[in-house]
A and B are shown apart, each in its own frame.
Chain A
Amino acid sequence: MTSINRTVLERRIVFLVLAIAVALPLVFPLGLKTQVTPLTEKAYDLVESTPAGSVVLLSFDYDPSTVTELQPMAQAVIEHAWKKGHRIIATAMWPQGSQMADMAFADVQGKFDNSKVYGLDYVNLGYKVGGMVTMQAMGRSMEAVYPKDMSGLDYKDIPMLTGIKSLQNVKYVFSFSAGDPGLTHWIMVAKDKYDIPVAGGTTAVSAPGFLPFVNDQMQLHGLLGGLKAAAEYEFLLGYEGAASLNMNPQSVAHVLILILIAIGNVKAWRKRKSVQQEASKNA
């Protein structure tokens, strides 16, 4: 067998083993627990410390490709906000974000026996093109940017929006963000321009880029990075949701990848050693 064929075969074995390592814990959960990190705690505390009756803004800046990571976060934050008596405005800077919001609201409604009333407890204003320009315009007038909600209701006819003239009237912004436009722009506009507390949930890939914003200037009030942070938020709320269950295969896969990295390094070291030995023999 040539070395190229062996490499291809080895790669296929790695894919197969990884698929099995992820599938088995999905079918047979291991019951692994997750530790809560300060980043998640900060985001939780922001929602927890906001008084009941406050109007808050959740921005759904993602689409179905990142639903595994961001949807559990969105559901957990909606549940927390509703438990605290907050009224939620949902917006979307990504075209399919508004559908993601609808799905999240529908799922969490089940936990509240469908008692949350559209227009009183939550509203979905839908998608707007423009990213940061739209956010800045929301700082001047929410109604000008969103004259109607997703269902076609006029802004002024939605009871919970009475008194919400601009972005400054919401108590915090929580962006679930898979890229641009998203959390970066909310920090720039909502926090740094209008001084509204901003927290965020991002995919794990983009989480390291947002860590510097969790600083003493409070540019971000906590950060949920990837599936693990979603599981931590569920833990803080006291239930095991989709994220907690999916952390079982995640943890197994991580252990497997560490083993594979170790094997790869040993193989590379042995190969280098044999090349060196051959070179010294020839010399």
Chain B
Amino acid sequence: MSEKMSYKDIPIGLAVTARGQNYTGSWSIFRPGVDHDKCTKCGLCVIYCPEAAIEMTDSGPSVDYNYCKGCGICGNECPTGAIAMERGEA
């Protein structure tokens, strides 16, 4: 916090206005790893992710580890067992 900062500099509504301001990925202990051979690209992981941290790409789901909190819902919901929760850096 700068000495010169004024309350007037805070934007109205105080919202986090852009990605990259509010990383929560460091909260995770387990991280989802995707086995692209097993993945059928059904998209359930994208729908179930409560943080909207998974995006479906041409090569399959892509997890944004800046935002993934490691809850494991995607791995639990994956019908083909393509997502495994792994400890540490995914």
Binding partners A and B? no
Q: Which residues of B contact A (CB under 8 A)?
A: none
Q: A-side interface residues toward B, CB under 8 Å?
A: none
